[in-house]
Structure 1
Amino acid sequence: MNNTEKRLLLVVLLTSLAMLAFAANSLLTRAAFQTTTIDAASFTAIRVISGALTLLLIALLQGVRLKFTPSGLWSAVLLFTYVAAFSFAYRDISTGAGALVLFASAQLLMIAYGYGNGERTNLLGVLVALGGMAAFLAPSASTPAWSAAALMAVAGFAWGGFSVLGRACDSPIANTATSFLWAVPLALLLMWVQHDHLSVDRWGMTYALLSGSLASAIGYAIWYWVRGRMTAISAGAVQLSVPLLSAVLGVLLLGEHISWGAGLSALVTLSGVAWVTLTAKAKQPGHRAVGKQEPSR
């Protein structure tokens, strides 16, 4: 095996590990609320604090300089919104369903942002994705609670916004680390607001620590490394595996059930997003969307 083949194998292996980490976030959060007594505010705070400390250590080991800027504060607000809504949603939604709503919402927001900035793609694919999502959320015995689905959609939109802001940063690790650090006071404030409902046990804390340090911080660090070694289309397409991995892990480890109708609707949604991703075209020279501008680097 030559050096090129070895590098390709390393990228494939680390990409798979990053996608597994993203799916593990859904599994760990759902497991915490299904099998322990921890509350959503405490889970959010522990995840944010452990993620911040881990990313800070990674940044220090890499010699990355952290900068606190106004845009970083906005990134922190979006990150906190994502983590908090994610936690509260997973009290009442299955692992796979939550990951699907999260993923689809984030991708659709980023697609809309790109379209408004001159990128072009197949709008029929967008309609297919939206139709699949509508079918997935249509009233049935297996439909997740609307409140949980709405919270997860908020989490997805927040994560999509965080990702859009992150495109303008020179160092993704530094940006994510500072965002997590800024989000710590917000997480502590949420605990204060929810002080009458706080509940922490050993396993709940363990799941939150694993979610923050391993699945979030180290997972993001690995993803940023492989992300710089693949095309934007490949990066978008490979993330299609996350909802499917989450659903499989939920069935195998938590005993969750997926109906044929829900599974088919999920595949339609993911197929629509894949169609959009694979047919995306870059902004045409000279085009400038009204009221929009490319983020500066």
Structure 2
Amino acid sequence: MLLKICIAMIAFAANSILCRLALAQHQIDPMSFSLIRVCSGAAVLLTLYALSAHKTKIEWSIKNGFFLALYIVAFSLAYLHIDAGVGALLLFGTVQLSMVGYGLCHGEKINLRRGVGLAIAIIGILILLLPGASAPNLIYAGMMVLSGIGWAMYSIAGKNMQNPLASSLANFVLAIPFVLLAYIALYSQSFAQPKGIILAMLSGGLASSGAYVLWYAIVKQIDRVTASSVQLSVPCLAIIGGALFIGEPLSWRIIISAAIVLAGIGLVIWASAKPVSLLQPTSDNSLER
């Protein structure tokens, strides 16, 4: 489970890096990036579904398609005119608050160890992003908050999906019309250089489609508090990736802050684990969250 979570979080961070690369270098406009991203994701998922040995019934949900489209469109628009660090804080801070709030409203509990781990992770994010961040434009900050709400609702909906691949395929297909409407409504002119198109295709076909199938499989086995907490690692990974691939500065403060966030997440996951009785044989179900 831990390896699956790490892969999913790295893919989520890759989306931020790919989007920043494309938009910061003016290789593509945000709405074209969003449209190519969602179409590429749908194409890859359709191929995987066609090649799968056991095809399950596709579950169509317009609501889930809308949440995915909301996340993708608002994400691209916000990263065009907002500082990367502030954007990551707004996005995953919104995801955190939305998923934890939803979980508490539906009966989930936060014990002392989970609360401490959550607090440590949030402190790490604040240390990492706030000191060097400039005040964001309120309009684009609001877009990033909308993106966080969309992703939180999409993650919550994943707990009710029976098959991650079929569900993700349906969600990407249903998200296309919403993204296309936003594209038509917001842009009369668009541009896309070859590099921007490739980056958008990598974001949708690799870092989004496969990762979201994996994430849907993960959230079915963990509770909402844990699911929201592990996503706090993404801003850290995105900033480290930005230093490696974009040349953004990487200081000891960033390294130490990332370690604090990951330590907090580790505490949340450890505190969420169910004890296995030593007096009874261990079954497959007892190992699942």
Q: Using the TM superposition, give the Cα deviation of residue 51 of structure 1 relative to its aligned residue in structure 2, in angstroms.
A: 0.7
**Does the C-alpha gap of structure 1 residues 116 and 276 become closer, same or farther in structure 2, counting only changes over 3 Å?**
farther
Contact conserved, 1:47 with 1:209, CA < 8 A, in 2?
Answer: yes
What residue number does 1:220 align with?
212
Confirm whether residue 110 of structure 1 aligns to residue 99 of structure 2: yes
Contact conserved, 2:86 with 2:133, CA < 8 A, in 1?
Answer: no
Residue in structure 2 matching 1:195, options 169, 187, 193: 187
What residue number does 2:77 align with?
88
Residue in structure 2 matching 1:58, options 48, 52, 56: 48
**Does the C-alpha gap of structure 1 residues 162 and 136 become closer, same or farther in structure 2, counting only changes over 3 Å?**
same
Deviations 1:72-97 (A, max 9, x none): 10111111000001101111345454
Amino acid at match of 2:49: A
Confirm whether residue 253 of structure 1 aligns to residue 238 of structure 2: no
**Which piece of structure 1 moves more, 16-25 or 268-277?**
268-277
**Does the C-alpha gap of structure 1 residues 103 and 184 become closer, same or farther in structure 2, counting only changes over 3 Å?**
same
TM-score when normalising by structure 2: 0.76
Give SS of 1:79's match: helix
Distance across 1 between alignment mates of 2:219 and 2:177: 31
Contact conserved, 2:65 with 2:175, CA < 8 A, in 1?
Answer: yes
Confirm whether residue 74 of structure 1 aligns to residue 63 of structure 2: yes
Deviations 1:148-202 (A, max 9, x none): 3332222111111111122112112222211110111111112211332411111
What residue number does 2:156 align with?
164
Distance across 1 between alignment mates of 2:166 and 2:228: 22
Distance across 2 between alignment mates of 1:178 and 1:118: 29
Deviations 1:234-267 (A, max 9, x none): 7665544322111101122112246787887777
Distance across 1 between alignment mates of 2:148 and 2:245: 24
Which structure 1 segments of 5+ residues have no match?
1-10, 283-297
Q: Using the TM superposition, give the Cα deviation of residue 67 of structure 1 relative to its aligned residue in structure 2, in angstroms.
A: 3.1
**Which piece of structure 1 moves more, 128-137 or 90-99?**
128-137
Amino acid at match of 1:27: I
**Does the C-alpha gap of structure 1 residues 172 and 18 become closer, same or farther in structure 2, counting only changes over 3 Å?**
same
Give SS of 2:110's match: coil
Confirm whether residue 99 of structure 1 aligns to residue 91 of structure 2: no
Contact conserved, 1:44 with 1:84, CA < 8 A, in 2?
Answer: yes
Q: Aligned residue pairs: how many?
A: 267
**Does the C-alpha gap of structure 1 residues 105 and 229 become closer, same or farther in structure 2, counting only changes over 3 Å?**
closer
Deviations 1:206-258 (A, max 9, x none): 11000000000122234445x28965477665544322111101122112246
Q: Using the TM superposition, give the Cα deviation of residue 36 of structure 1 relative to its aligned residue in structure 2, in angstroms.
A: 3.0
Amino acid at match of 1:255: G
Contact conserved, 2:155 with 2:216, CA < 8 A, in 1?
Answer: no
Distance across 2 between alignment mates of 1:150 and 1:273: 26
Distance across 1 between alignment mates of 2:213 and 2:273: 28
Amino acid at match of 2:19: T
Distance across 1 between alignment mates of 2:213 and 2:82: 28
Confirm whether residue 120 of structure 1 aligns to residue 109 of structure 2: yes
Contact conserved, 2:121 with 2:261, CA < 8 A, in 1?
Answer: yes
Deviations 1:74-132 (A, max 9, x none): 11111100000110111134545433432232122111111001111158656777777
Contact conserved, 2:125 with 2:232, CA < 8 A, in 1?
Answer: no
Distance across 2 between alignment mates of 1:271 and 1:146: 32
**Does the C-alpha gap of structure 1 residues 229 and 115 become closer, same or farther in structure 2, counting only changes over 3 Å?**
closer
Contact conserved, 2:12 with 2:234, CA < 8 A, in 1?
Answer: yes
